[in-house]
Structure 1
Amino acid sequence: MDDCNLKKLMVSPGTLEPPFNSTILNYKMILGSDVLSLTVHPVTSDNRASYQIIVYELVIFRVQFPWSINFSELNNALEYECPISLKAFYQPVSVKGSDPKHIFSSSCIKLLTRKTKCDPFDDTPFDEQWCVPEYEVDKRMSAVTVFCSFKYRGTTTLLEYVP
């Protein structure tokens, strides 16, 4: 008889949240909008066992918010604003190997580097794989609060930022 208990569950790209545990049945992943495919590799106790992967919910969204985001705390604004656009990061990416890490909104840095492949902060030439998606920054941004986009009209409502 097949022993189809999972011993491991690996995914690429990305990581499972929470980390794999054979007693946990539901996981989530946050992937960048540039991901075109996801590979799921289950490893069973019996390598001859058959298995079936069922995806119950797949939520894909990535639309830029049309209004400016105003962070409710100054330290969040300093951490999560693109140094080029001076707006909240949109699809943040970093420059591979930069120290300290140089993070930008993807669209801004790609526009600036379409002719010359150099870091706009220090003119360091980029290598071939210079653009690194910053999924963790996106994830941390989801935990901060921002002012309602109608703050300019007097509202004081605070909201959870969902990039």
Structure 2
Amino acid sequence: MSSAQFPNPEPAAFRARYEDVVWHEGTHELDAESFESVRARAQRGWGVGALIVNEGSVLLVRQDSRWYAPGGMLEFDESPEEGAIREVREETGLTVQLDGLAAIAEQTFVNAANEETFLFYFAMFDALLETAVLTDDPGLSDENISAVEWHATVPIDTYDRPLIVELLQQQHPHWE
């Protein structure tokens, strides 16, 4: 992979490199302050993360009072795959191997104060554990990650819960 393609691969071309990728569209209305904060982070490029399942449980991180799949922003000069592996390690302490691209989420963020919008893309990879010991100091100092836990069900307060449940059901039909 050429780093010239990143950190902003064209969504359709990126999706075409993999088989059976779920395309998920969502809209998220935010207050003005949250909108500006998210937009500032999103200007760095794509978000990347991983769906990790082990022994019937999915790994989630608790950040700012919500559960998320481990992930974050792509760094300059790294591929989405490299970024997902790095983000999982930073947030959970785990080393993973990627097993394909599970989904691309096209997220439209809306400023509730003035209806201004922007698009953001998030690549969610399937990942397999190489190490299974979670860190007791999750995330980087500026991330506000308070917990990393395995869940047998996806909590109601999980960000983009419908997408995570859909992906889990594709791999494991017993998921709710």
Which TM-score applies when normalising by structure 1? 0.33
Higher-RCO chain (CA-CA 8 Å, sequence separation at least 6) = 2
The structure with the largest alpha-carbon Rg is 1
Which TM-score applies when normalising by structure 2? 0.31
Whichever structure has more helix as a proportion of its residues is 2
